[in-house]
Amino acid sequence: MTADGSPKVGTLAEIVAWRKVASDHGEKVVLTNGCFDLIHRGHVELLREAKAQGDRLVVALNDDDSVHRLKGPTRPLVRQEDRAEVVAALEMVDRVVFFGEDTPARVIEAIRPDVLVKGADYELGEIVGRDFVESIGGRVHRVALREGRSTRGIVQIVLERFGARAPEVGKENR
């Protein structure tokens, strides 16, 4: 649970215990992971399709330090607590857990998902955790991505339109 009280955001130990209960009830647990910085339609479509692969969806979210290492010195744009709250607020997401490593391998091995979901921008051989999930009888599902739906693309549009200046903000936009 977060400091703000979201019951969907938990520690790895809490999510592992929750996963066991779901398993005991015969539910299929799906896991996906990512930074989810500036949530956009592409994220929502990936999460919706991920949830369709099973009964319960866990999102493993890169913490701020790992996003910074993976995406560069200007990222994340949104701090981890805020990213987690936004992801947890989506109806298809059942649980959110942070990880600080550069890959989600430790989280995947602890949670032992029935299905691991990644975007189709990853080749099967590039998907971290694939071998482990398949070795425990699970499967990997790749979600087709739609052109023009990315955080990088949104950032580029903002830079092109506004450059280094911030847009004027009226009272209605505050």
* pTM for this prediction: 0.85
Would you say the C-alpha torsion 83, 84, 85, 86 has a positive or negative sign?
A: positive
Helix segments in the chain, DSSP class H: 12-24, 41-51, 64-71, 80-89, 105-111, 130-135, 151-162
The number of beta carbons lying within 10 Å of the beta carbon of residue 33 is 21
Are 110 and 129 in contact by the 8 Å Cβ rule? The answer is no
User: In order of start, what are the domains of the chain with their CATH numbers?
Assistant: 12-166 (3.40.50.620)
Look at phi and psi of residue 101 and say left if phi exceeds 0, alpha if psi is from -120 to 50, else beta.
Answer: beta
DSSP secondary structure letter of residue 104: S
Closest residue by Cα to residue 95 from 105, 109, 107, 103 = 107
> pLDDT truncated to tens, each residue of the chain (174 aa)?
444 556 899 999 999 999 999 999 999 999 999 999 888 888 999 999 999 999 999 999 999 999 999 988 888 989 999 999 999 999 999 999 999 999 999 999 999 999 999 988 889 999 999 999 999 999 999 998 776 555 565 556 555 667 766 555 444 433
CA-to-CA dists, residue 23 to 43, 55, 77, 127, angstroms: 26, 10, 35, 24
Distance, in Å, from the CA atom of 99 to the CA atom of 106, rounded to the nearest integer, reads 8
